[in-house]
Amino acid sequence: MSSHPQKNVDFYQSVLGLRLVKTTVHFDNADVYHLYYGDEIGTPGTLITFFPFPNEHKRGKHGSGSVSAIQFAIPDDAAGYWHDRLRALGVHTGQWSDRFGEGVLAFEDHDGLCLELVATRDASHREGWPGGPVPAARTVRFIRGATLLVRQREPSTRFLTDLFGLTVAIEDGERTRLVFPDDDAGVHIDVLGASTGPEALPVPLEGVLPEAGTINQLAIGPVTSDEQRSLRRRLLAAGFQATGVKDRRYFQSIYTLDPAGVRLEAATGEPGFLVDEPRDRLGTTLQLPPWLESRRGEYERLLPPLSFNS
């Protein structure tokens, strides 16, 4: 969740060097943008997306029962570059620290969303966006992982292993790292215990909680349509809530809540972002799904204009 959309573009495209690959609207609340950032074509695993509410200036409440941080993979020799770049652009950072043998640099975006860069050799598995403001050899490559902050680790860990198929890789203190079988890029979900401290406001199973700087859902995928339907059956059989399949134009999704109240999404990878725009024009014009196209004039008057300069 974000505040003003232009500030969002300025940070994620101009500071982090991600490509804005799709400018559309929140299909369930079409008076706000839905902005997608990733690599050159929005490859699954590179995407971070935002619903920017320009009239909502209140920052959200961080705490247990939420996705507390998102980690981006960068090349292991780019740590110095990124520390200097963020500082030069006025982004406050801590110092590089070690986590499971890799360097991690924590910082916040303009809305207080907690982000981390992970300097890793695994970044070589993918390329970033070479057309942005960051040299190609230094670009953010993909989303390396996310941290779920919870009161009790065991229920969320069991949920992710039993139903989503992750496996426990390592435990250190209050942090349990879960990985995806057969993944060679080190993508993970960390479950971090916090027995004290504030609690985040609960997100709904459907819809959004429009609080800037918070994460509405964590998408896991891509999955096939058959895998998605199978997961939904398993979730319901295990007594968890699950939505029906939602048509998101560029993929299909179902949603559920884990035992801590974290909203998770299982998304397919097709048809992707080239379905309605050519590669060289991705993200530069407002795209609407067929069922909203008749209201284009209304949305173009309502939504604030955006500048896409990198």
Domain extents in the chain: 5-302
Count the helix, strand and coil residues of the chain and give each as a percent rounded to the nearest 5.
25, 30, 45
The per-residue pLDDT for 298 is 92
Which residue in 202, 196, 160, 194 sits closest to 178, CA to CA? Answer: 160
**137 within 8 A of 145, measured Cβ to Cβ:** no
Torsion of CA 227, 233, 238, 241, to 10 degrees: 100
Mean pLDDT in residue range 181-186: 91
Task: Please count the other Cβ atoms lying within 10 Å of the Cβ belonging to residue 278.
Answer: 7
**110 within 8 A of 11, measured Cβ to Cβ:** yes
Residue 310, pLDDT > 60, answer no
The per-residue pLDDT for 31 is 85
One CATH from 3.10.180.10, 1.10.1200.10, 3.60.21.10, 3.40.50.1100 for 5-302 = 3.10.180.10
Q: How confident is the model at residue 97 (pLDDT cuts 50, 70, 90)?
A: very high
Q: How far apart are CA 146 and CA 286, in angstroms?
A: 29
**192 within 8 A of 232, measured Cβ to Cβ:** no
Q: What angle do CA 220, 6, 82 make, to 5 degrees?
A: 65
Mean pLDDT in residue range 19-38: 93
CA atoms within 13 A on the CB side of 203: 32
Q: How confident is the model at residue 28 (pLDDT cuts 50, 70, 90)?
A: confident
**82 within 8 A of 117, measured Cβ to Cβ:** yes
Alpha helix ranges (H) inside the chain = 5-9, 79-88, 153-162, 225-237, 296-302
Question: What is each CA distance from 158 to 16, 65, 168, 225, 292, in whole angstroms?
Answer: 34, 15, 10, 24, 40
Percent residues over pLDDT 90 in the chain? 91
- The one-letter code for the residue type at 77 is D
Question: What is each CA distance from 296 to 147, 220, 248, 308, in whole angstroms?
Answer: 37, 31, 17, 20
Q: How far apart are CA 91 and CA 86, in angstroms?
A: 5
**3 within 8 A of 50, measured Cβ to Cβ:** no
Mean pLDDT in residue range 163-177: 96
Q: What is the pTM of this model?
A: 0.96
Mean pLDDT in residue range 181-198: 94
Which residue in 212, 286, 290, 284 sits closest to 248, CA to CA? Answer: 290
User: Which residues does 286 contact at the CB level (< 8 Å), separation at least 6?
Assistant: 23, 24, 25, 296, 299, 300, 303
